[in-house]
Every structure is written in structure tokens, then in C-alpha cells.
Amino acid sequence: MISRRLFAALALTALVATACGTDDGEDAAVRADGSVDFSQVTLRLGDQKGTGLQALLESAGELKSVPYRIEWSQYTSGPPMLEAINSGAVDFGGVGNSPPIFAAAAKSAVKIVSAYRAGTAGQAVLVPKDSPLRAPADLKGKKVAVAKGSSSHHHLLTVLDKNGLSFDDIQPQYLQPADALAALSTGRVDAWAIWDPYTAQGQSQTGARILVDGTGYVNGDAFFIAGNKALESKSRTEAIRDLLGRIQRAHTWADRHPEQWAQTWGQLTGLPTEVTLVAAKRDPYEDHPLDAATIDAEQQVADAFTEAKLIPNKVRVSDFVDTRFNDLFPPAS
């Protein structure tokens, strides 16, 4: 029933966006010669407090001399951000591998526009330090906190499946990161499926230990998503192209300067630097194009949710992919 309510809400959001969305009309930022006057462009960006796109770009110096205006909105996780992108309130944002699947199942007006590998070591199922749980199979019958529709949702699903369990064998507790951390630290849940830097936060602040990480379970891909309305606008599309280049350079900078990145990440997210430094060093970034292998891997994520009956219908991922920015990225290694 929780799943059905989620999709009803997403579907309603889509209908409201369709019914109430305004037509931008002629793109005023496009000059007569077809060039874009970026001084007339505003790009509305979604950010997750934990993953810190704004913090990353600021740390790397990529927010200096941006030729267009940026408006930031903060979200607790990927699914509510994609609801905002679908509604047209936000143009662009970064999420893990699962939110696009839930958005696609709700027929949201969004597209995956770029991919990067965020790693697998920080994707984890945490348990309290004195927990008797020692192996993934021990999760049977236990209360497990997870953000619904997040990358950790898929990680948890895969961990259960590869260890002979299903979602019916656990008691999922759908909680956002802050609430899940409190629930784990007070014993209201037995385990917490989560991503960095919250994995590092749980380890540092509660002494939680990793029962199982993403190694061998997920490929660590994450994605940037744009709204269909933004992609229909030449000026915003060109701004997104510029932004993706800045993000790629910022990823390279962060991989080479983890200490500096961790310091700013901590300052802008409110997390201790020792927490963000663990996360910064644990999983380097690797940008790559939306190639056939990437799309196929994301299709496997969609199929896993379909088979588990966690989404109401089969999703064809290729219908929600826009490869126009692939030329910005080197082939995946």
C-alpha cells in the first residue's frame, strides 16, 4: 500500500504539472543569430544535502564566473527532487540509480542526461556496533530503515535477493536519512541501508558497522536528471551543457584533492570534516557517457524493482534517456 500511495502522489504531480504548467513561449535568451545570451538564463538546480552538488562545485571553484544565474533547492533524497523536476519547479539535479526508475514508473517528464560512477564502498547496510547480525542472511525478520526509491533501496533489494531473501522477509521502515540515523541509534530499527556520507556519519557518530557494502551487489552508477521542459529550451539546454562540464571538472578536482573537498563539504552540509573525509576518500568519481552498457545496467535495476513488485509496471529505461551530452564524457573504463 505504501508503494501505491507513492505512485499515486507521483502520478498526481505529473498531472498537475501537465495541467498547470506554463508555456515558456519564445526563448527570450536566444539571440537572432541562434546564440544564447546567458545573462538572461536562470537554471534551477536541485541538490541533496548529503551528496552536496553545490558544495562540490563551490569547492572546485566552478561556481566562479558562471555566465547564467543559478537558483538552488535542497532535498533530503532523490525521489522528492525528481518530483520537483517533473513538476517543472526544478530543471536539473543528481540522484542515485533508483530514483529515475520510480520516476519513470510514474511516467514523469524527466530524462537521464549524464552518468558517473560514485563507487560501491560507501553504499552500505549499517547495524549497531553491538548487533548480533553478522551476515546479510541475518536480516530476515528484522526492521531495516531505507529511503524509499533511493539507491539504497536497490542495494538492499539486491543484497536480499543474492542471499536468498526478499522484501517480504524483512520489515522495511521507509525513513529519510536523519530519521533513519536516529532510529538506528535508539534501537528502533535493526539495520539501515544508506549511502555516503551518511554511511560515514553512522560509523563515526554511533559506532555503527557495515554489515555489507555495495561491492559485488551494485555498480555504483549515479545520474544527473533534467526536466523535459528544460531540455525543450535551447537556452537552458546550453546552460546544462556548460554545467555538466563544470561538474566533470569538479569531480576530477575532488578526486585529486579529497582533503580540501571534505572540508568544504563538511562546512556546507553541517557534517564533521572527519565524516566527509572518509566519504571523500572511500569512493572516487568517474564520469562516463550514457552508453549501451550503462543503459542496460539501469534496465536491470528497473527489472529488479518490477520483479519485486515494488513498482507497478515494467519500465523501459531507454525511453527516459537523452544522450545529447555524451560527447562531453570519455568512454567508461
Q: Give the 3-state secondary structure of the chain.
A: CHHHHHHHHHHHHHHHHHHHCCCCCCCCCECCCCCECHHHCEEEEEEECCCCHHHHHHHCCCCCCCCCEEEEEEECCHHHHHHHHHHCCCCEEEECCCHHHHHHHCCCCEEEEEEEECCCCCCEEEECCCCCCCCHHHHCCCEEEECCCCHHHHHHHHHHHHCCCCHHHCEEEECCHHHHHHHHHCCCCCEEEECCCHHHHHHHHHCCEEEEECCCCCCCEEEEEEEHHHHHCHHHHHHHHHHHHHHHHHHHHHHHCHHHHHHHHHHHHCCCHHHHHHHHHHCCCEEECCCHHHHHHHHHHHHHHHHCCCCCCCCCHHHHECCCCHHHCCCCC
Residues 196 and 287 in one domain: no
Residues 110 and 54 in one domain: yes
Q: What is the pLDDT of residue 5?
A: 45
pLDDT-based confidence at residue 47 (cuts at 50, 70, 90) = very high
Residues 207 and 280 in one domain: no
Give residue-wise pLDDT tens across range 266-312.
987 889 999 999 999 998 999 999 999 999 999 999 999 999 999 99
Tell me the three cell numbers of residue 144: 531495516
Q: What is the pLDDT of residue 22?
A: 38
pLDDT-based confidence at residue 26 (cuts at 50, 70, 90) = low
Q: Classify residue 19: in a domain, yes or no.
A: no
Terminal C-alpha separation, the chain: 41
pLDDT-based confidence at residue 142 (cuts at 50, 70, 90) = very high
Q: Is the pLDDT of residue 59 over 70?
A: yes
Residues 208 and 226 in one domain: no
pLDDT-based confidence at residue 11 (cuts at 50, 70, 90) = very low
Residues 230 and 323 in one domain: yes
Q: Is the pLDDT of residue 25 over 50?
A: no
The parent domain of residue 94 ranges over: 39-118+220-328
Q: Count up the domains in the chain and report the number.
A: 2
Q: Classify residue 30: in a domain, yes or no.
A: no
Tell me the three cell numbers of residue 183: 532510529
Of 159, 179, 212, which closes a domain? 212
Of 162, 189, 212, which closes a domain? 212
CATH of the domain at 134: 3.40.190.10
Q: Is the pLDDT of residue 330 over 90?
A: no
Q: What is the pLDDT of residue 156?
A: 98
pLDDT-based confidence at residue 211 (cuts at 50, 70, 90) = very high
Q: Classify residue 254: in a domain, yes or no.
A: yes
Residues 236 and 95 in one domain: yes
Residues 50 and 169 in one domain: no
Q: What mean pLDDT comes out for the span 259-272?
A: 90
Q: Classify residue 24: in a domain, yes or no.
A: no
Q: What is the pLDDT of residue 1?
A: 36
Q: Classify residue 107: in a domain, yes or no.
A: yes
The Cα 18–Cα 200 span in angstroms is: 40
Q: Classify residue 200: in a domain, yes or no.
A: yes
Q: What is the pLDDT of residue 268?
A: 79
Residues 231 and 98 in one domain: yes
Residues 57 and 195 in one domain: no
Q: What is the pLDDT of residue 187?
A: 96
Q: What is the pLDDT of residue 49?
A: 76
Q: What mean pLDDT comes out for the span 206-223?
A: 96
Q: What mean pLDDT comes out for the span 112-130?
A: 96
Q: What is the pLDDT of residue 52?
A: 83
Q: What is the pLDDT of residue 270?
A: 87
Q: Classify residue 257: in a domain, yes or no.
A: yes
Residues 114 and 146 in one domain: no
Of 212, 232, 258, which closes a domain? 212
Q: Classify residue 15: in a domain, yes or no.
A: no
Residues 105 and 227 in one domain: yes
Q: What mean pLDDT comes out for the span 151-172?
A: 96
Q: What is the pLDDT of residue 23?
A: 41
pLDDT-based confidence at residue 21 (cuts at 50, 70, 90) = very low
Residues 317 and 185 in one domain: no
Q: What is the pLDDT of residue 169?
A: 97
Whole-model pTM: value is: 0.87
